């Protein structure tokens, strides 16, 4: 893991206000998750708790958020102190959570894309698998391994850009540059192919692996116009995966 979120935690939290987050990312992830009422849910790489809160508000019985970054968890706990939802936030590594198979659903928004190689991806998939009950479901939104990032369009109008330096090959770093009103910052993901992801998920015991392209919310289309979203929807830099234990 090369991107340290401690120094950029507060800035990253503000990127969640960018319209594409609500109208594409969250709309698709929450559509795929479906009805979480009564379910036990773990949000791995929860950051400041954006999805932990959404899923708890939609009726999940228990939500645990885990993140490697102390600062991210501090922000999550701060929000929890202001609006008590009963979410437990833990500083921890998703590759080795030390939790038993106690969850119906594991979610992760941008976790697997921090694997720099197959071994790290294997460790992440095993980490997720270990906390799921038999039949439990894993739903994740991730940097898209089927996007050809070197030829991707500019996503600048949505508030971010992507770039690749050097050869486009397995393990190549992908830089996401986020733009905010008061500045910009970078985070780094890594390219591992669709096939590598499928192998790692199957090796961890997952089955019924399905990939889903992002969707646009009807409200997003109505407010901004369909044309506004074409770069993002035609060559999506994000993708969703769902699979079962
Ligand atoms: C792009 S942020 C996403 C945060 C949150 N899921 C969201 O959508 O707002 C990625 C997060 O992954 C966390 N992370 C990276 N590697 C991790 C690991 N091995 N275990 C737990 N968290 C990890 C980082 O600390 C960071 O908060």
Phi, psi of 137 (to 5 degrees): -120, 145
| Ligand 1 atom nearest to CA at 9 | 27
If you measure from the C-alpha of residue 15 to the centroid of ligand 1, how many angstroms do you get, rounded to a whole number? 14
By the 8 A CB rule, do 113 and 213 touch?
A: no
If you measure from the C-alpha of residue 192 to the centroid of ligand 1, how many angstroms do you get, rounded to a whole number? 17
Per-residue pLDDT of the chain (245 residues; tens, 9 = 90+): 468 999 999 999 999 999 999 999 999 999 999 999 999 999 999 999 999 999 999 999 999 999 999 999 999 999 999 999 999 999 999 999 999 999 999 999 999 999 999 999 999 999 999 999 999 999 999 999 999 999 999 999 999 999 999 999 999 999 999 999 999 999 999 999 999 999 999 999 999 999 999 999 999 999 999 999 999 999 999 999 999 99
User: CA 210 to CA 75: how far, in whole Å?
Assistant: 33
Q: Is ligand 1 within 6 A of the CB of residue 74?
A: no
Over residues 93-137, the pLDDT tens digits come to 999 999 999 999 999 999 999 999 999 999 999 999 999 999 999
Upper half-sphere CA count for residue 18 (Cβ side, 13 Å): 20
User: CA 9 to CA 173: how far, in whole Å?
Assistant: 21
If you measure from the C-alpha of residue 121 to the centroid of ligand 1, how many angstroms do you get, rounded to a whole number? 14
Q: Is ligand 1 within 6 A of the CB of residue 72?
A: yes
- pTM, two decimals, is 0.97
Helix, strand or coil for residue 191?
A: coil
Query: Which of 68, 97, 125, 160 to mutate for ligand 1's pocket (most ligand atoms within 8 Å of CB)?
Result: 68
User: For the chain, what's the residue count?
Assistant: 245
CA torsion 59→16→28→164, rounded to 10°? -140
Of 138, 106, 118, 143, nearest to 210 by C-alpha is: 138
User: CA 157 to CA 77: how far, in whole Å?
Assistant: 32
- Which CATH number is 6-146+192-244 given? 3.40.50.150
Residues linked to residue 174 through DSSP beta bridges, in sequence order: 189
Where exactly are the structural domains of the chain? 6-146+192-244
Could you say which DSSP state residue 61 is in?
Answer: S
Phi, psi of 212 (to 5 degrees): -130, 130
Strand intervals (E) in the chain: 40-44, 62-67, 88-91, 103-109, 132-143, 160-163, 173-180, 183-190, 207-212, 238-244
Ordered DSSP codes for 11-57: HHHHHTTSHHIIIIIIHHHHHHH---TT-EEEEET-TTTHHHHHHHH
CA torsion 8→11→12→14, rounded to 10°? 170
Q: Is ligand 1 within 6 A of the CB of residue 85?
A: no
Rg of the chain over Cα atoms, rounded to whole angstroms, equals 17
User: CA 26 to CA 53: how far, in whole Å?
Assistant: 12
pLDDT at position 1 is: 47
By the 8 A CB rule, do 87 and 49 touch?
A: yes
Q: Is ligand 1 within 6 A of the CB of residue 50?
A: yes
pLDDT at position 3 is: 80
């Amino acid at each position: 893991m090369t991107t340290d979120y401690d120094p950029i935690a507060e800035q990253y939290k503000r990127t969640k206000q960018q319209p594409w987050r609500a109208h594409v990312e969250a709309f698709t992830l929450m559509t795929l998750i479906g009805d979480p009422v009564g379910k036990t849910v773990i949000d791995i790489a929860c950051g400041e708790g954006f999805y932990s809160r959404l899923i708890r508000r939609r009726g999940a019985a228990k939500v645990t958020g885990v993140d490697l970054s102390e600062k991210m968890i501090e922000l999550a706990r701060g929000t929890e102190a202001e609006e008590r939802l009963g979410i437990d936030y833990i500083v921890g590594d998703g590759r080795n959570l030390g939790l038993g198979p106690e969850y119906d659903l594991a979610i992760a928004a941008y976790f697997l894309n921090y694997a720099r190689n197959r071994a790290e991806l294997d460790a992440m998939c095993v980490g997720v698998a270990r906390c799921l009950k038999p039949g439990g479901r894993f739903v994740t939104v991730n940097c898209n391994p089927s996007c050809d990032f070197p030829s991707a369009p500019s996503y600048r109008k949505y508030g971010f850009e992507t770039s690749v330096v050097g050869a486009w090959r397995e393990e190549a770093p992908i830089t996401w540059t986020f733009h905010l009103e008061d500045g910009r910052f970078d985070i780094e993901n890594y390219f591992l192919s669709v096939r590598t992801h499928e192998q790692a998920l199957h090796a961890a015991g997952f089955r019924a692996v399905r990939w889903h392209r992002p969707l646009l919310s009807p409200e997003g289309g109505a407010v901004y116009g369909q044309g506004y979203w074409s770069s993002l929807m035609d060559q999506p830099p994000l993708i969703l995966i769902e699979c079962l234990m």
